[in-house]
Amino acid sequence: MHADPKGVLTGLHFIDGDHAACEGAIAAGCRFAAGYPITPSTEVVERFAARIPLVGGVFIQMEDEIASSIAILGAAWAGHKVMTVTSGPGLSLMMEHIGYAAMTETPCVFVDVQRGGPSTGLPTLPAQADMMQVRWGSHGDYNIIALSPNSPQECFDLMIKAFNLAELYRTPVFFMMDEVVGHMTERVAIPRPEDIEVVPRRWTSRKPGEYKAYEPGEDLVPEMVKAGDGYRVHVTGLTHDERGYPAMNPQAQDKLVRRLVDKIRKNAHKLVDVRGENLEDADVVVISYGITSRIAAAAVEEARAAGLKVGHLRLVIVWPFPEQLVAELASRVKAFVVPELNLGQMVREVERVVAGRAQVVSVPHAGGTVHQVEDILAKILEVAK
């Protein structure tokens, strides 16, 4: 189906990434958001609070991030597309409800505009240090989807994709921005509503009495209903059967948790979204994401100008990690260089997949600013010898 024209500001805009992300959410059909102000993400919900009454939605400023993250889950079960917006310290507070969203298979989007940490760290300065927390932060076994834009245009475009994936897989989806992308102002082209494809909720066609809230289809994803439609629905964070009723035994746990993991893992090949450049003849591949990918691209360009065979792989969807592609590259390249605004997070995933078949070199940065092109170029030259 196409986007609701009421929510789409078709045309050319000169806006920052936070505002573009907000416009993407509204275009995707988001009609409820709850949040607590935290730099550098606040502009997303400031714009949402101003815009959403005009298109028939609601924003609530909650008392904290814990309340925000559970409010959106309730609104999702009331039938709305939902999001909350935060930064590192707030994401830490949301972890219990992220696990609840995974367990109850509640479609929702968490926007994380990353800043330097740990704790309150650097409120107005960038980092990419939440990448492992977002994957593994809540307890138990589950899989998530995470996207990482590198421009205001992608903040708009990929936000629509984030909402569509949340609906397709009935899972929390994470939008991993960083302070630079959030506050960067560039031209953003917003298409016509009829050119924006949005995925509707997977409403059941079954009658009350026949429907089970957690009975999966062939793709391992169940259909949904919403409160008030006459269906009996039991939603709990406890291990449950296909009706949603608690079933606390090893057999039910194994069946449910394996499906929560498999509905993402077995569809990972469909979810891979990367941008590759000069990979065909590469001896060295730089892997990057978010704002760091723009600095890495400049370093790769300089290296190739110097005659080196260097390629660039940018992760647009970071989780699930593109294992098959990186493993294939590992069989034919000499080394991987992994710059990121943390002291080594996604590089661990690269090392796991490469499994010793090529050299893997981290280019760490503690955050607060971005890499210098020369720092990444120096590592490329070092491994290319």
Neighbours of 36 (CB within 10 A): 21
Q: What is the pLDDT of residue 347?
A: 98
Q: 109: left (phi > 0), else alpha (psi -120 to 50), else beta?
A: beta
Residue 213 has pLDDT above 90, yes or no: yes
- Kindly tell me the sign of the dihedral angle through the C-alpha atoms of 307, 310, 316, 318: negative
The model's confidence at residue 267, banded by pLDDT at 50, 70 and 90, is very high
pLDDT tens per residue across span 365-385: 999 999 999 999 999 999 998
Residue 279 has pLDDT above 90, yes or no: yes
Q: What is the pLDDT of residue 63?
A: 96
Question: CA 64 to CA 48: how far, in whole Å?
Answer: 18
pLDDT tens per residue across span 189-198: 999 999 999 9
Per-residue DSSP letters for 285-316?
EEEE-TTHHHHHHHHHHHHHHTT--EEEEEES
pLDDT tens per residue across span 172-208: 999 999 999 999 999 999 999 999 999 999 999 999 9
Question: CA 37 to CA 249: how far, in whole Å?
Answer: 41
Q: Tell me the one-letter amino acid at 157.
A: D
The model's confidence at residue 1, banded by pLDDT at 50, 70 and 90, is very high
Per-residue DSSP letters for 157-218?
HHHHHHHHHHHHHTSEEEEEEEHHHHH-EEEEEE--GGG-B-PPP-B--SPTTT--TT-B-T
**For residue 5, which phi and psi values (nearest 5 degrees)?**
-55, -25
Q: What is the pLDDT of residue 385?
A: 83
Q: What is the pLDDT of residue 113?
A: 98
Residue 79 has pLDDT above 90, yes or no: yes
Q: What is the pLDDT of residue 340?
A: 98
Contact partners, residue 345, CB within 8 Å, separation at least 6: 128, 129, 131, 132
Residues forming a β-bridge with 337 = 286, 361
**For residue 266, which phi and psi values (nearest 5 degrees)?**
-75, -10
- Kindly tell me the sign of the dihedral angle through the C-alpha atoms of 49, 201, 172, 95: positive
Given a contact cutoff of 8 angstroms between Cβ atoms, the answer to whether 93 and 63 are in contact is: no
Q: What is the pLDDT of residue 208?
A: 92
Given a contact cutoff of 8 angstroms between Cβ atoms, the answer to whether 86 and 40 are in contact is: no
Where do we find the tokens 């289809």?
A: 217
Hey, where are the domains in the chain?
5-195, 273-384
The model's confidence at residue 277, banded by pLDDT at 50, 70 and 90, is very high
Domain 273-384 architecture: 3-Layer(aba) Sandwich (3.40)
What average pLDDT score do residues 15-33 get?
Answer: 98
Question: CA 184 to CA 163: how far, in whole Å?
Answer: 22
Residue 357 has pLDDT above 90, yes or no: yes
- Kindly tell me the sign of the dihedral angle through the C-alpha atoms of 29, 35, 40, 42: positive
Q: Please state whether the predicted TM-score (pTM) of the whole model is above 0.95.
A: yes
Residue 38 has pLDDT above 90, yes or no: yes
pLDDT tens per residue across span 83-141: 999 999 999 999 999 999 999 999 999 999 999 999 999 999 999 999 999 999 999 99
Relative to beta strand 108-116, strand 122-126 is antiparallel
Q: Tell me the one-letter amino acid at 284.
A: V
Check if 5-195 and 273-384 are the same fold: yes
Relative to beta strand 359-363, strand 335-339 is parallel
The overall average pLDDT reported for the chain is: 97
What average pLDDT score do residues 308-317 get?
Answer: 98
Class of domain 5-195: alpha beta
